[in-house]
Structure 1
Amino acid sequence: MTVLWPALFVVVFGFGPWVFLRLMRLTPSSTVFARLVAFMVMAAAASMWLRFLAPVPWGANIWATGVGMGLIWAAWIAVLALAALALRQADQGPAMRRWTGVIGAMGTTVPWFGLASARLMSS
């Protein structure tokens, strides 16, 4: 598991903000909002299915646990994008575009600190 942490760090601090900033290129509209909500619900539901109903036990199988956590993280990024796009739709100024991009990209990394804290407490 020790080898996995640097790769996980790169994914969380590189891929997460990149995906969020790609989503910020979308033009705020009801269609975009509906698609983000649908993705968020499907990712969260799939994660809950893996956690509670899948034949592979969560926590005992690293792949089931990793995929479940990845789905929760993807739903989190969708929530951040949904909120940022809603704010951008309300205020279309350059300051709002800049700050929603910066704060949202940083927000995608928040789950890392929970994982790092859990690792610190368990070792």
Structure 2
Amino acid sequence: MTFAWILTYAVVFVGGPCIVLWLMRPQASVAAVRRLGILTMAMVVLSIGATMLGAPGSLAAAMLWGAWVSSMALMGHVLRLMIGSPGARRWTAAMAAVGATIPWFGLLIARAVAG
């Protein structure tokens, strides 16, 4: 395994959940959901724009990963608002943090398929 794969693993499995937990620190509110929604959409649009302008693919991939991480925090906030119980704060944060690691499995499958 190369250094790039080890670094990617560390970023996805340590950085992703830490960012999600940081984004989920504020109290769940409609304003927090709006901010995270705007952040997620902006990162998706910027990644598409960067690709169209000829930026490196790694930049677009990093932006899409950031959009995925922010969307996990967004879903965590939405679940907190829907459930509304005080106990939901802990388990929604845990589930959102676990969800942030899902792109790693896509990378592994793509690598296996590519040979």
Q: TM-score under structure 2 normalisation? A: 0.90
In percent, how many aligned pairs have the same letter? 33
Structure 1 unaligned regions, length at least 5? 57-63
Q: How many residues align?
A: 115
Shift of 1:98: 2.2
* Aligned with 2:60 (options 68, 82, 101): 68
Query: Structure 1 residue runs of 4+, over 4 Å off?
Result: none
User: Equivalent residue for 1:60?
Assistant: none
How well do the aligned residues superpose, as a CA RMSD in angstroms? Answer: 1.6
Aligned-partner residue type, residue 13 of structure 1: F
Contact 2:17 2:98 in 1 (8 A): yes
> Structure 1 residues 64-73 or 9-18, which shifts more?
64-73
Q: TM-score under structure 1 normalisation? A: 0.84
Change (3 A) 1:31 1:17: same
User: Equivalent residue for 1:103?
Assistant: 95
User: Equivalent residue for 2:17?
Assistant: 17
Contact 2:9 2:104 in 1 (8 A): yes
Q: Using the alignment, how far apart are the partners of 1:113 and 1:91 within structure 2?
A: 29
* Aligned with 1:86 (options 75, 78, 85): 78
Aligned-partner residue type, residue 54 of structure 1: L
